[in-house]
Structure 1
Amino acid sequence: MLLTSILPCDGKSLLSAAGFCCLLICPPGLAESAQDEQQQRPQQETVPQGREALSFYPITEQAEIEKNRLSDQAIAYPANPVSRLSPLLEFGDDFLGRGPIKPGIKTPFEQMLQPTFLLYGQFRSALQSYDAEGKDIVQWSTRLDLHGDVKLSGTERIVFSLRPLDNDKGEDTGFTFSPDGGEDNWHDQTNGKLTQLFFEGEIGEIFPRLDPSDSKTWDIGFSVGRQELKVQDGILLNDTFDALGITRNSLIARGLPNLRLTALYGWHDIDNPFADVTSPSRLFGLLSQADTAWDNSLDLDMVYVDNDNSANAWYLGLGSTQRIGMINSTFRINTEIPLDEDNSTLSKGTLVTAELSGGFAHSDDLWYFNSFLSFDDFSSAARSRDGGVPLANIGMLFSPVGMGQYGVPLGDSIEDTYGAVAGYQHFFGGIGSQFIVELAARSSMKSQQKRDAVGVGLRYQKSLSRQTLIRFDTFFAVKEKQQSAKGVRLEWLLKF
């Protein structure tokens, strides 16, 4: 046989053959002797894995311990270090710094705390002109976003935010010039109101005794306080309100190598300027995100809003992000289902969006093509007043700038409409200077609504330093049964 010509017929060689039975190729007597030899061999030692491997073959001789001990001397990195950008204010260990870490503080629960504090943010100043929707405005606007991060450990921190130059009604500190020769107007909206204040942490890290070996299911994260939340890329939910969120991450199910579940409860300052609801509301949500065996990420979110005036509704969202060949793609469907369809304070509707983007060979330039289809009149479960329409992330012409009275070029109602956005982003000699041109169009599925519009937008931005940049925006749009809209603005931004 071919098998016997390849394998020599002795017991030791046959026992080392990959799974072949020696009874098929050797005489019975030789097979029995091989089995006896196999039974006399000691069982193979199991190689430990995970934490057990830490004590595998421990070193006991002092000379060997000293030989393998890590040195206390700092060794210079062979490359020239990049200078660190310091936050506006910091205490404790340097953020992204080098050198020894200060000793921590052990809590009664045996958690090690290493407190640090960072104060960072950005300042924006813009001169802008907006002519649309029956108003012609020329103004200088400012905005300051400050964020404080009290880091207690790697998983626990307290975060607060302020916007001391503008308020939640979209009014900011600046100067409005009257284009008709009337009276100029200085407006001061300085304030000390906190826009965010929340604590986040992880139960398993706060109470290490619950799981000393880190092998149980106590890796439960949570956050509580006033915080900004965005769901379905800001389509289903985009607001800042008082909320409690509890998250279980790294769950594994069949076909889902990683699953994250979040239970959400919101109880105060839930806002939606597109719904005629003024009474207090409460928000309940179950949010899930999963990586799948089909090489995509799925988002399935359910939100229920309970209102004192019976303006109650379900908000459901499903999204999928994946690569199709060389194209990045995201598809989403979001729907609003009021429990009482006769309640005029709420609308109902479904919004379908598709986002495609990609690059060019031998170039850093990017292209994108996004489209949407809206049935009835969809609105978000909660939306801040400066968050724009639910299509704010689909393109520049649907997105607010977040400063002053500069409007959204195509930010009208999306009731029974469809549209698309096509854009091209070009980089000049690196990422420090870039130019974006975008063309967008929208139309109504009902001819009597007269909401057809088309617009073009341009943006150029250039970094002046590692912390500052300038940005120039302009647009022109033509809307059915309305006057043409146009705008131009120049912004200076400082990050710290």
Structure 2
Amino acid sequence: MNRLFILGALCLFAASLPAAESGDVGKDSPSRISDERKELVPSEVPDRPPPLIEIGDPFLDTGEVSEGFRGPTGAIWRPRLLVFGDFRASHGFWGRNRVDSSETILDLPLFANLYLTATERILFGINPLGRDAKFTGRRYQPFDDSFEQFNAEVDTLFFEGDLPELFPSAESLRGTMLDLGFSVGRQLVGPEFNDGFLINDRLDAFGLVRKSSPTGSLSHYRVAAIAAWADLHRGGNRQLDESGQLFGLLTSYDFHIRGGGLNFSTTIDLDLVYVNAPEDTGDGFYAAVSAAQRFSTGLGKLNTTFRFAASIAAENETAAVRDGSLFFFESSLTPHGSKNILYFNGYIAEGEFSSAARDPRFGGVLGPVGVAFADIGLGAFPSALSSNPANSVGGALGWQIFNEDKRRNLVLELAARAPNDEVNEGTLAVVTRFQQAFWTRIVWRVDGYGALPHGDSARWGVRSELQVKF
């Protein structure tokens, strides 16, 4: 636990940096909110989608807020319970290595969210039809059988809050280095940190976070420290490391650059992670740095991200940790007067980079490169191109087309992947994805791809999925 104290001290030190109040916004500033009053148009406001169960103040409703009562910490508690879930049913066909396969898969994650205050809550979650990357369903090819993963294992159970809100008598904490948010329990950690490249797993963990006020060009910063002691999935195969412990310092800085002909925003993320593990799985160091920019250009709105990540075995390489590095970039353009998105993403990987912790359901780290690399996360249906970056280079060029009300979209993508030392012996893939929303809760999705590996038989896949949110 000494490492936790060290990381916590670093977190508090960074959080104690002075923060200045933002200045007045001039009348001609593009950031100024208009004084013009605009009435809501009732016909443009969708009906409230009530959750499966709600007790207490209704979710996203209008009316009076209950008075509540004073809790043991002095905060006013207004408990409300929301029970919600997500049902997914998928049927897919695919061919690989001259073998055709097909299956039907069901998934049903369920959650109960108990709010005590606006910032304090307890979230409980289970998946009665799935566990890790295994689900309930039926396989039809290459052989016929059914499989069940019925279970009552707790996927999610954590409590999170904000110290000054939880202890209002200690309001003097506000604005100090002890103005901290916290979270403890089994929770999904990582997607908000460097887009999940280093951590994207459900962990038994404790975390602290400190956020700032604006100062100069720095409009916001976040410093988080995390310690996890169970449920780490490591290595390229994302196997459970039953004795692994994870410690991380995760930071993010938002800047607005203005002057000298420049006017754009950028977010800089810098994350450091250490995993302490037995000799057979091995300790590992992990780091990632990224810069995400947002521009307004003559062509439209341009977004770019550049990211570098590395994994280093502390001693000998094992299946859980190997030396490797990954450079990743993504860019997207929304043309003026259009809702559609043109994107071009790519990566270069040396060695066998892997995340510090990654849930088997989420596939490899290359999912953000494009639809061709992204694992479905439901059953055995494979992605068009491998999401494991080991010693390879690749990219994707795509066009996402939206209809007028954005309830229907189509993705067309051309992608490629090749070994670093034999770029002429890669795989080319063409991928499409169609999504259609029905009412307020249902989404229908169809995926299809064809891939042509160098010197091998073609690969293909088609799947349809119905998703119901309740």
For Structure 1 versus Structure 2, the TM-score category normalised by the shorter chain is 0.7 to 0.9
1:88 aligns with: 52
2:454 aligns with: 480
Per-residue deviation, residues 317-358 of structure 1 (Å, max 9, x unmatched): 001111243311111110111111455653111101111001
1:246 aligns with: 208
How much has 1:241 moved relative to structure 2? Answer: 1.1
**Structure-to-structure mapping, 1:300-379, within 5 angstroms:** 300-309=270-279, 311-324=282-295, 325=297, 326-341=301-316, 346-379=321-354
2:464 aligns with: 490
* Amino acid of the structure 1 residue aligned with 2:208: I
* Amino acid of the structure 1 residue aligned with 2:243: P
* Amino acid of the structure 1 residue aligned with 2:268: L
2:198 aligns with: 236
Q: How many residues align?
A: 417
How much has 1:476 moved relative to structure 2? Answer: 0.5
Query: Is structure 2 residue 155 aligned with structure 1 residue 223?
Result: no
2:233 aligns with: 271
SS of 1:292 mapped into structure 2: strand
Query: Is structure 2 residue 359 aligned with structure 1 residue 389?
Result: no
Point out the structure with the larger strand share. 2
Q: Name which of 140, 143, 148 aligns with 2:112.
A: 148
RMSD, aligned α-carbons: 2.3
Name the TM-score, length of structure 2 as normaliser: 0.84
Q: Which has more radius of gyration?
A: 1
**Distance (whole Å) between structure 1 residues aligned to residue 186 and residue 467 of structure 2:** 26
**Distance (whole Å) between structure 2 residues aligned to residue 303 and residue 107 of structure 1:** 37
8 Å Cα contact 2:432/2:448 also seen in 1: yes
* Amino acid of the structure 2 residue aligned with 1:192: A
> Which deviates further from its counterpart, 427-436 or 146-155?
427-436
8 Å Cα contact 1:175/1:186 also seen in 2: yes
How much has 1:215 moved relative to structure 2? Answer: 5.2
**Distance (whole Å) between structure 1 residues aligned to residue 176 and residue 314 of structure 2:** 41
**Distance (whole Å) between structure 2 residues aligned to residue 124 and residue 344 of structure 1:** 32
8 Å Cα contact 2:417/2:428 also seen in 1: yes
* Amino acid of the structure 1 residue aligned with 2:230: H
Q: 1:150 to 1:219 in 2, by over 3 A?
A: same
How much has 1:492 moved relative to structure 2? Answer: 1.1
Q: 1:160 to 1:134 in 2, by over 3 A?
A: farther
1:162 aligns with: 126
**Distance (whole Å) between structure 1 residues aligned to residue 352 and residue 440 of structure 2:** 43
**Distance (whole Å) between structure 2 residues aligned to residue 388 and residue 82 of structure 1:** 35
Q: 1:189 to 1:250 in 2, by over 3 A?
A: same
How much has 1:82 moved relative to structure 2? Answer: 3.7
**Distance (whole Å) between structure 2 residues aligned to residue 147 and residue 280 of structure 1:** 28
SS of 1:407 mapped into structure 2: coil
2:167 aligns with: 207
**Distance (whole Å) between structure 1 residues aligned to residue 318 and residue 438 of structure 2:** 53
Displaced runs of 4 or more, over 4 A: 212-217, 251-255, 275-279, 341-345
* Unmatched 5+ stretches in structure 2: 1-20, 22-38, 258-264
Per-residue deviation, residues 45-104 of structure 1 (Å, max 9, x unmatched): xxxxx9xxxxxxxxxxxxxxxxxxxxxxxxx98745642110111100001111111111
Q: 1:213 to 1:419 in 2, by over 3 A?
A: closer
Q: Name which of 383, 403, 416 aligns with 1:428.
A: 403
2:35 aligns with: none
**Distance (whole Å) between structure 1 residues aligned to residue 240 and residue 402 of structure 2:** 45
Q: Name which of 239, 243, 251 aligns with 1:280.
A: 243
8 Å Cα contact 2:429/2:451 also seen in 1: yes
**Distance (whole Å) between structure 2 residues aligned to residue 291 and residue 396 of structure 1:** 28
Query: Is structure 2 residue 385 aligned with structure 1 residue 410?
Result: yes
8 Å Cα contact 1:163/1:195 also seen in 2: yes
SS of 1:393 mapped into structure 2: helix
Compare relative contact order (CA 8 Å, sep 6+) and give the higher one, 1 or 2: 2
**Distance (whole Å) between structure 1 residues aligned to residue 413 and residue 40 of structure 2:** 44
**Distance (whole Å) between structure 2 residues aligned to residue 351 and residue 90 of structure 1:** 45
**Distance (whole Å) between structure 1 residues aligned to residue 315 and residue 327 of structure 2:** 23
SS of 2:432 mapped into structure 1: strand
**Structure-to-structure mapping, 1:15-94, within 5 angstroms:** 79=42, 82-94=46-58
SS of 2:102 mapped into structure 1: strand
8 Å Cα contact 2:235/2:355 also seen in 1: no
What fraction of aligned residue pairs are identical, expressed as a percent? 30
* Unmatched 5+ stretches in structure 1: 1-49, 51-75
Q: Name which of 211, 222, 230 aligns with 1:260.
A: 222
8 Å Cα contact 1:423/1:438 also seen in 2: yes
How much has 1:166 moved relative to structure 2? Answer: 1.3
**Distance (whole Å) between structure 2 residues aligned to residue 450 and residue 165 of structure 1:** 43
**Distance (whole Å) between structure 1 residues aligned to residue 106 and residue 183 of structure 2:** 31
Q: Name which of 231, 236, 255 aligns with 1:292.
A: 255
Q: 1:104 to 1:133 in 2, by over 3 A?
A: farther
